[in-house]
Each structure stands twice: as C-alpha cells, then as structure tokens.
C-alpha cells in the first residue's frame, strides 16, 4: 500500500557546543536531521509517513527503538559504514556547522521505493541529487523541497558554507510544488536583502517559502507575496525548527489543501518545538487556535 508521505533525508548525530550559554554547554551524539525532526510531528496528523534514510552501525540502539515506535512513521534504512555526524558551534547571534562523518547517498535506494501522495526531499548535505527529485516528481502528486542540502559545501576544515551550483539549482527550485529556504539561503541565492526583492527573484510558478526565525515567514503564491509573523517563544534549542515546519506544512496540506492555514499551523508547531532541547513527540494540543492567531498577522508585501 502506498504511503501518504515519503520523507527522504539523512538521520544524523549532532555534537553541539553552546557558546551562547555560561558556562559553555556541550552535547554529544544528539539525534538530529530532518527525518528525525519529522518524527516529532507526524503523530499529530492523519498521515502515514515513510522515512527513507541511511545510518551506520554507530547509530545508538536507543534512538532506533524510539524512531521505530513512532505512530504512522515507518523507517526504511540503507546501511552505511557511518552515520552522518555534524558539529554545531552555537553562538549568541550565529552558528557554525562542521561535517564530521557522512552516510551513503540515497539516490539508488529511493528509486526502488513506491511513491505516494506527497514527498518531502530534505537533504542535509548532498545525500540526494536530481535523480531523487525526478523520482519524487514521477511517483507523487506533490513534492516539497528543502534546499539546505543543495546549498552547502565544506572547506578544508570541514566547515559548511553556503555555496550552490547555479547551473542546476534554478531548475531544481522551479520543478517542484513547494520550496523552503532559510533567510540566509534565500539571500545567498538571490543576492537580495529585502523581502519583496527576495521573492521577486525566486520562481513564481510554484510556492516559495522563506523562514525568518522570530520574524516568521515570507512566501509567494501566484505572483503575490505575503508575510506571516510567528509567536515568539523562549528558545531552548532552535535547531530543527525549520525541519519541523516543512514536515508539518506538507502533512497539514495533505489533510486540508489549504495553503495559508497549513503554513500558520506549521508555524505554531515550530514555535512549540524551540522549547524542547531534544527530539521527542510534541504534545497534541490545540495548534489550530494558535494557527488562527498567527494567520491574523498575514499581510501583503508590495
């Protein structure tokens, strides 16, 4: 039986150093990655999701047991020598990311899987290519793409930088139904800083979503541009908030086919996520009420 939502991404292990705190706080081998963050929210929706990923023998058994226990969340695992691992250096106003290990790419595994109603492609660092995007488009009714893994390179110290191959990137972000950028990624690609100019320089044939942290999101729909503000919460750890947002959005959109409300609903869940330091199922509370309040802030960007 086909699933409702396929999610293709590496589950990762995160080492974190919080230089933003006194004394400095350190965490090793924390569960992370877009596919893992999706596990926080999938049980909140009436969707059957399948996560196609790759991990190594170094992946903790406890994490595997947790992920395998999630309602409506099935794991399809490609075995690798090592699990993808990152080091996050978190400062008060910025963060620095280093790639320490990388699991196998997912392209050849994906093409043997059955499609579904929707597919979320959320690479963390080049684990999928255009091959996977073509598979997703051919085998799903709608496709959402988080661009982060396509906009990253590493330098000689394995530090991650925002660089992309413009010869294929424009085609990629024009070829799917929904595209998510962070504000930094959108500014890097468009070479613009104002909300209107950023959206003007992104494709207009689909839905482009740009997350802006505590300032909410901006997005395009049929050549018109909008902003929705979020509810500001006390942050324990903002890591993964964007992953939670895009997974929640596509799940809610599958349920309702309503763009604006699905965006506001996903923002309500992402606001809840930042209050949690580790991956765990989020509480099943009235996110609809919060979403309605968030949606009241929608305004047109001229």
Convert the pLDDT of each residue in 47-102 to its tens digit.
999 999 999 999 999 999 999 999 999 999 999 999 999 999 999 888 899 999 99
CA pair distance 88, 85, nearest whole angstrom: 10
In the chain, which residues have pLDDT < 50?
Answer: none
What are the residues whose beta carbons fall under 8 Å from the beta carbon of 294, sequence distance 6 or more? 216, 228, 229, 230, 231, 264, 267, 268
DSSP states of 112-144 as a string?
TS--EEEEEE--SSSS--HHHHHHHHHHEEEEE
Please report the pLDDT score of residue 1 as a whole number.
Answer: 61
What are the residues whose beta carbons fall under 8 Å from the beta carbon of 35, sequence distance 6 or more? 7, 8, 9, 10, 11, 51, 53, 122
Please report the pLDDT score of residue 165 as a whole number.
Answer: 65
Please tell me the number of Cα atoms within 13 Å of 285 on its side-chain side. 12
Please report the pLDDT score of residue 167 as a whole number.
Answer: 65
Counting other chains too, the contacts that 153-158 makes at CB distance below 8 Å and 24 or more residues apart are 154/98, 154/99, 154/125, 157/98, 158/98, 158/99, 158/100
What are the residues whose beta carbons fall under 8 Å from the beta carbon of 1, sequence distance 6 or more? none
Is the entire prediction scored with pTM above 0.75? yes
CA pair distance 139, 62, nearest whole angstrom: 33
Place of tokens 């504000």: 183
> Cβ distance 154 to 99 under 8 Å?
yes
Please report the pLDDT score of residue 151 as a whole number.
Answer: 86
Going from N- to C-terminal start, the domains of the chain cover: 3-301
CATH for 3-301, options being 3.20.20.105, 1.10.1740.10, 3.40.1190.20, 3.40.50.460: 3.40.1190.20
Please report the pLDDT score of residue 92 as a whole number.
Answer: 84
pLDDT tens-digit profile of 6-16?
A: 999 999 999 99
Burial class (CB in 10 A: 0-12, 13-18, 19+), 81: exposed
pLDDT tens-digit profile of 241-250?
A: 999 999 999 9
């Amino acid at each position: 039986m086909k699933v409702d939502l396929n999610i293709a991404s590496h589950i990762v292990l995160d080492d974190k150093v919080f230089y933003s705190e006194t004394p400095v706080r350190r965490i090793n081998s924390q569960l992370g990655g877009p596919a893992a963050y999706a596990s926080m929210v999938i049980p909140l929706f009436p969707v059957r999701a399948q996560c196609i990923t790759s991990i190594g023998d170094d992946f903790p058994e406890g994490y595997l047991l947790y992920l395998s226990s999630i309602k409506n969340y099935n794991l399809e695992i490609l075995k690798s020598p090592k699990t993808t691992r990152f080091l996050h250096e978190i400062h008060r106003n910025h963060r620095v990311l280093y790639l320490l290990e990388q699991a196998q790419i997912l392209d050849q595994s994906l093409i043997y899987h059955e499609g579904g109603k929707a597919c979320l492609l959320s690479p963390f660092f080049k684990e999928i290519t255009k091959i996977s995007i073509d598979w997703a488009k051919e085998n799903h009714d709608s496709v959402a793409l988080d661009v982060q893994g396509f906009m990253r390179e590493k330098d000689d110290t394995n530090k991650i930088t925002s660089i992309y191959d413009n010869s294929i990137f424009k085609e990629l972000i024009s070829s799917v139904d929904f595209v998510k950028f962070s504000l930094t990624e959108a500014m890097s690609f468009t070479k613009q800083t104002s909300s209107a100019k950023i959206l003007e320089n992104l494709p207009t044939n689909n839905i482009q979503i740009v997350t802006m942290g505590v300032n909410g999101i901006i997005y395009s729909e049929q050549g018109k541009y909008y902003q929705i503000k979020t509810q500001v919460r006390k942050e324990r750890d903002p890591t993964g908030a964007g992953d939670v947002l895009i997974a929640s959005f596509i799940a809610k959109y599958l349920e309702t086919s309503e763009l604006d409300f699905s965006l506001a609903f996903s923002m309500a869940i992402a606001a809840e996520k930042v209050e949690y330091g580790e991956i765990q199922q989020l509480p099943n509370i009235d996110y609809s009420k919060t979403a309605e309040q968030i949606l009241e802030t929608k305004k047109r960007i001229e």
